[in-house]
Structure formats: C-alpha cells, structure tokens
Chains A and B, each alone.
Chain A
C-alpha cells in the first residue's frame, strides 16, 4: 500500500515549455486534489476531482489543466510554463466520508526559469 505517489519529484522547465505531473493513489478514494505551496503561504487548491471523468476548478486554476481518466490517477498539466508557476505541487486524495482528512503525496518541486 503506497498511498499517494507523485512523479516526478523534481523538474526544471524553461519558460514556455509544457509538462505533466502524475499523481496516483491506491486507496480507492473518490476525491483527488492538486495544490501548490509557495514560501510563506499555505497550500492553495488548483483543481480537484470528485470522481473518475470529473474535474473542477479550485482557487488558482489559471495556467493549469487536469484530467482524471482513471479513478486512481489525477494528472496536472502546464501547457506553457511561466516563472510564476515555480512552486511545490502536492497531490492529495480523500474518501467520500473524508471528514477533513486528506492524504498527501510527497510533492513535486518545480522550477521555471
């Protein structure tokens, strides 16, 4: 039981490049989330999904797209990376009866130059 895993762990992009971050969970959770965390700030919700085939916008969705083709996977895409997207990205999942409890992956540290 690996919980929530994320790939890659680190990535450096040049402005304008694209990439996809992969999140996988093996807990059969319905809900999945993508957050970004910047220094001195809490986590901010980018997009989330309440089930396979569904996605919704969070607080800071601009510049990102997501897909949830399989229940266990949640992909975050950056179509044209900008320096403002330099951040640590966390994926999380929770059950339907989550009660405020989310399980987080180890994070992806992304730098855009």
Chain B
C-alpha cells in the first residue's frame, strides 16, 4: 500500500507563491498526481509526475524526487479562487490512486 503525508493547512497572500509538500512511503509506486478540490466540489486533476523533475502547467508546477520519496506543488501568482484543498496522490497499478489527507490552502488579500 501507500502512505502520503502533507501539511493540513497553509495560508498565503494573494499574488504570492506557495509550496505544498508531500512525502510518501509506498510499494508499487508509478508516479505522483495532484488534485484540487473546492468545498462541496469534486476533485479535479492538476498535474502528474512520473519521472523526477519539474512539470509546469501555467501558474502551477509540480516536482518529484523518487530518491527522496518527496514531491511538491508550487502555485504562483496566487488568486483568491485558489483557496481550496489540495491532495497529492500516489499512482499504483491500474492507475489506482492513494490520496494524502489534503492541504487546505487559504489565500488572503
């Protein structure tokens, strides 16, 4: 199975940069995904890292280091609408996902 740890809460100022870390212990790990979930909504896919390094998608970037069992999500130019919960998820076989407990990001003016 897989176990993923991430901070429970993060607060950041509008326009700033925030990094959400994720460490994992796993067997059968194929890659690390990140999802965003607004209150009352469904998770939506943000990014995926199968290989070590940085993946960039607009204001969002994600990083993976397999040797350190560590990844992070970087959000730049924060906007109020970025206030949400963010989940890292380890990918196993059959594209199964094992989710962390989530980080609640609050963006303040």
Please give the residue numbers on chain A whose beta carbons come within 8 Å of chain B beta carbons, in ascending order.
31, 33, 40-45, 48, 50, 56, 58-59, 90, 94, 96, 98-107
Decide: B96 and A100 in contact? CB cutoff 8 A: no
Binds A, one of B13-21, B42-50, B73-81: B42-50
B18-34: which residues lie under 8 A (CB-CB) from chain A? 30-33
Residues in chain A near residue B30, CB distance under 8 A: 100
* Residue of chain A at shortest CB distance from B43: A104
CB distance from A22 to the nearest CB of B (A): 16
Decide: A102 and B45 in contact? CB cutoff 8 A: yes
> How would residues 73 to 106 of chain B score, 1 for a CB under 8 Å from any chain A CB and 0 otherwise?
0000000000000010101001111111110000
Decide: B31 and A99 in contact? CB cutoff 8 A: yes
Decide: A100 and B42 in contact? CB cutoff 8 A: no
Please give the residue numbers on chain B whose beta carbons come within 8 Å of chain A beta carbons, in ascending order.
1, 4, 30-33, 41-45, 48, 50, 87, 89, 91, 94-102
Decide: A100 and B32 in contact? CB cutoff 8 A: yes
CB distance from A89 to the nearest CB of B (A): 11
Residues in chain A near residue B41, CB distance under 8 A: 106
Decide: A99 and B48 in contact? CB cutoff 8 A: yes
Q: Which of B44, B48, B100 contacts A100 (CB 8 A)?
A: B48
Residues in chain B near residue A45, CB distance under 8 A: 96-98
> Known contacts A45-B97, A48-B96, A100-B89; can you find 14 more A-B pairs with CB under 8 A?
A33-B96, A42-B100, A43-B87, A45-B96, A90-B43, A99-B31, A99-B50, A99-B91, A100-B30, A100-B45, A100-B50, A100-B95, A101-B45, A107-B42
Residues in chain B near residue A103, CB distance under 8 A: 45
Q: Which of B1, B48, B99 contacts A101 (CB 8 A)?
A: B48
Residues in chain B near residue A102, CB distance under 8 A: 43, 45, 95, 97
A106 to B40, CA, bound (A): 9
Decide: B43 and A100 in contact? CB cutoff 8 A: no
A41 to B3, CA, bound (A): 12
CB distance from A103 to the nearest CB of B (A): 8
Residues in chain A near residue B99, CB distance under 8 A: 42-44
Can you name 24 A-B pairs with beta carbons within 8 Å?
A: A31-B94, A41-B101, A42-B89, A44-B99, A48-B94, A48-B96, A50-B94, A56-B94, A94-B95, A96-B95, A98-B95, A99-B31, A99-B50, A100-B30, A100-B32, A100-B45, A100-B48, A100-B50, A100-B91, A100-B97, A102-B45, A103-B45, A104-B44, A106-B41
